[in-house]
Amino acid sequence: MVMFLFLVVALAIVVAAVTLAVVGGGESAPLPEAAPERLQDPLPPDRPVDRADVESLRFPLAPRGYRMADVDDALGRLAAELAERDARIADLETALAGARAAARQQPAEHPRTGPDQGREEQR
């Protein structure tokens, strides 16, 4: 019987301690809301993204992994930069192909040499 009484008192003490911990121990103000962690080092908006920017990019953790908005923003920016670079490369390759084709179509001019060259220019 003494053991049963001891267990009931111990249980009452544990319940009281947990209740005080949950309620806040008598403090009247609730805990302040924590600000969500945001991406601190976004990709630079004023210049093209380079390799070092991508390697240093770190996403803050969220309760279920990463914040989708931060990841979507970074991936959207990278996709836009890659599309812009692909278009620029295609333009440069087209210009280079056109220059090579024009160079092939021009007849090779051989300078005239010989004694008749001076006489034809005088006529």
HEC string of the chain? Answer: CHHHHHHHHHHHHHHHHHHHHHHCCCCCCCCCCCCCCCCCCCCCCCCCCCHHHHHHCCCCEECCEECHHHHHHHHHHHHHHHHHHHHHHHHHHHHHHHHHHHHHHCCCCCCCCCCHHHHHHHC
pTM: 0.48
Give percent of the chain with pLDDT exceeding 90.
25
pLDDT 10s digits, 83-120: 999 999 999 999 999 999 999 998 765 555 555 555 55
Q: Would you place residue 9 in the very low, low, confident or very high pLDDT band (cuts 50, 70, 90)?
A: very high
